[in-house]
Amino acid sequence: MAEWNRILLKLSGEALSGEIGHGFDENVCREVAGEIAELTRKGIQIAVVTGGGNFWRGRNSSKIIERSHSDQIGMLGTVINCIYMSELVRLEGIGTTVYTPFECGGITTLFSSDAAVKDLEDGKVIFFAGGTGHPYFSTDSGSSLRALQIGADCIFLAKAVDGIYDSDPNLNPEAKKYDVLPMKEVVEKSLAAIDLTSAVMCLENKMPMMVFGLRGERSIVNAVSGEFTGTRVTV
């Protein structure tokens, strides 16, 4: 099938909103859920982290809300996203668990690496919501942390842009896309496609990353199955 046994898939919140730009685009989300289920049936163990930008990012531009509280709102946005995507995967016939690093009553399960690994080995798709549970850390950082804790083979980072460029391709039509890029160079150049804390964590712990565009037909299946056209970040 592929070189991967266990992966962590990071989905941006904006990607889940599709062309709507906020909330959920049901067609996009159901397509993503279908691809996750397809890969799971083929034996790939998948953990999923979602961002929360479809609900909160940029909405505190006035800085009227204190940063740590603003980040807490963003964490709850990721809980909403993970519950929604979890249900769509369940509709595909695959069991799921949503983990958070803080208590959410009976809505989610408190994170335990042992329990998460057991769920993966039992054929479930697991969702990590709430980031690290602390302010000042991005969901990219949370993705790297959880990937290491569950012993993932690789992080697959699905973004609106189809890889890592040397400058913003939306602003610079001459921007160069990297096919292969050492994680050390990502850190040294502070390339904005990956959160710097996340990149350092991956570099120090030799966790590779595949950065690709979500908005393409069967983009997740193709990326994981070997038909990869994004940026392979090596360690």
* pLDDT tens readout for residues 165-179: 988 888 898 999 999
Residues 6+ away with beta carbon under 8 Å from 26: none
Tokens of 41: 């049936």
Residue type, 82: C
Cβ partners under 8 Å of residue 38, min gap 6 = 221
Rounded average pLDDT over 58-78: 81
Residue 1 inside a domain? The answer is: no
Residue 8 dihedral angles phi and psi, to the nearest 5°:
-110, 125
Beta strand 177-178 with 164-165 is antiparallel
Q: What is the pLDDT of residue 1?
A: 42
Please give the residue range of the domain that contains residue 116. 6-234
Answer yes or no: is pLDDT of 95 > 80. Answer: yes
At residue 163, does pLDDT exceed 60? yes
**What pLDDT shows up at residue 2?**
54
* d(C-alpha 88, C-alpha 82), whole Å: 10
Whether the per-residue pLDDT at 61 is higher than 70: the answer is: no
What is the CATH classification number for the domain harbouring 153?
3.40.1160.10
Whether residue 78 lies inside any domain: the answer is yes
Q: Is 58 left (phi over 0), alpha (psi -120 to 50) or beta?
A: left
Count of C-beta atoms within a 10 Å radius of residue 168: 11
* pLDDT above 70 for 18: yes
Helix ranges, 137-195 (H): 139-149, 183-189
Q: State in Å, rounded, how far the first CA of the chain is from the last one.
A: 23
175 inside domain: yes
75 Cβ contact partners less than 8 Å away, ≥ 6 residues apart: 52, 129, 130, 131, 133
Question: How many domains does the structure of the chain reveal?
Answer: 1
